[in-house]
């Protein structure tokens, strides 16, 4: 199975900050890497697919980058609604696996 | 607007079978564009893909669960289902159903609200 390691596990930031979080794959995932946002008590929500493509309706302050084994999710200017946990997920090969998440806190 | 909703018992006895159903509304299961997935989440293990199924009934399972998992579809009711046998405490989780889209990368969106299943006597 492809293991995804997310760092940091938690991140403290303020409104307006630019933040970047990382997802490292145990083997190449090409660009088959997606990002999700999850708020407490709700299901994950797709933000970015294929490493760099923004899902429809997702604010442009979110962006994804990377390929191969190293990927990043960047939020250019944090808004109050962005405080949540973010997960990466690979679809390069089954079983499709998720990282353990980065919790973004105020 | 596509919506998914999980239903089933919230408590299952150890060694028994967990059975959940996902009801899809706002679109038909009968589409060549999507698969339909089950994913679970635990505080200890995080998010785990259980498997997915096509409307024809063709399914792929996570090898770690394959010996205990069966998925099925009922196109007349626009539902798909999950059965997990011989459950133990480690199977306690929030279970989600989701649409498995193939937009370049396989993504899960949208998800159901999730249902907590506790394995306990």
Structural contact between residues A97 and A40, judged by C-beta atoms closer than 8 angstroms: no
Sort out which chain B residues have CB atoms less than 8 A from A101's CB and list them: 46
Structural contact between residues A39 and A103, judged by C-beta atoms closer than 8 angstroms: no
A17 touches chain B (CB under 8 A): no
Confidence at residue A98, expressed as pLDDT on a 0 to 100 scale: 98
Is residue B103 predicted with pLDDT exceeding 80? no
User: By CA distance, what is A89's nearest residue in B?
Assistant: B107
Is residue A6 predicted with pLDDT exceeding 80? yes
A62 touches chain B (CB under 8 A): no
To the nearest whole Å, the CA of A48 is away from the closest chain B CA by: 9
Which are the contacts of A40, defined by CB distance < 8 A and separation ≥ 6? none
The residue among A3, A44, A56, A85 with the most chain B CBs within 10 A of its CB, best to mutate, is A44
CB contact under 8 A, B49 and A95: yes
**CA distances from residue B39 to A12, A64, B58, B114 in whole angstroms, order as listed:** 28, 23, 17, 9
A93 touches chain B (CB under 8 A): no
Confidence at residue B15, expressed as pLDDT on a 0 to 100 scale: 97
A23 touches chain B (CB under 8 A): no
Confidence at residue B104, expressed as pLDDT on a 0 to 100 scale: 83
Structural contact between residues B82 and B50, judged by C-beta atoms closer than 8 angstroms: yes
CB contact under 8 A, A97 and B111: no
pLDDT digits (tens, 9 = 90+) for A9-60: 999 999 999 999 999 999 999 999 999 999 999 999 999 999 999 999 999 9
Structural contact between residues A45 and A37, judged by C-beta atoms closer than 8 angstroms: yes
Confidence at residue A85, expressed as pLDDT on a 0 to 100 scale: 97
**CA distances from residue A79 to A101, A105, B14 in whole angstroms, order as listed:** 19, 11, 44
A32 touches chain B (CB under 8 A): yes
User: By CA distance, what is B47's nearest residue in A?
Assistant: A98
As a whole number, mean pLDDT of residues A53-80 equals 97
Sort out which chain B residues have CB atoms less than 8 A from A87's CB and list them: 46-47
* Percent of chain A at pLDDT exceeding 90: 98
CB contact under 8 A, B114 and A53: no
Which one has a higher pLDDT value, B45 or B35? B35
Least CB–CB distance from B111: residue in A43, A53, A94? A43
* Percent of chain B at pLDDT exceeding 70: 100
To the nearest whole Å, the CA of A81 is away from the closest chain B CA by: 19
């Amino acid at each position: 199975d492809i293991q995804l390691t997310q760092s940091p596990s938690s991140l403290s930031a303020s409104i307006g900050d630019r933040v970047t979080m990382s997802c490292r794959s145990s083997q190449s995932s090409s660009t088959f890497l997606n990002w999700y946002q999850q708020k407490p008590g709700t299901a994950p929500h797709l933000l970015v697919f294929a490493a760099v493509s923004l899902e429809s309706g997702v604010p442009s302050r979110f962006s994804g980058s990377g390929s191969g084994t190293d990927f990043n999710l960047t939020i250019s200017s944090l808004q109050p609604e962005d405080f949540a946990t973010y997960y990466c997920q690979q679809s390069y090969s089954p079983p499709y696996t998720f990282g353990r998440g980065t919790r973004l806190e105020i | 607007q596509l919506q998914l909703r999980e239903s089933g018992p919230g408590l299952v006895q150890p060694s028994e079978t967990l059975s959940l159903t996902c009801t899809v509304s706002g679109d038909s299961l009968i589409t060549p564009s999507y698969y339909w997935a089950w994913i679970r989440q635990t505080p200890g293990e995080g998010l785990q893909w259980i498997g997915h199924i096509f409307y024809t009934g063709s399914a792929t399972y996570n090898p770690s669960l394959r010996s205990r998992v069966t998925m099925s579809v009922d196109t007349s009711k626009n539902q798909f289902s999950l059965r997990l046998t011989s459950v133990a405490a480690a199977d306690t989780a929030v279970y989600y159903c989701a649409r498995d889209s193939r937009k370049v990368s396989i993504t899960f969106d949208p998800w159901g609200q999730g249902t907590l299943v506790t394995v306990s006597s």
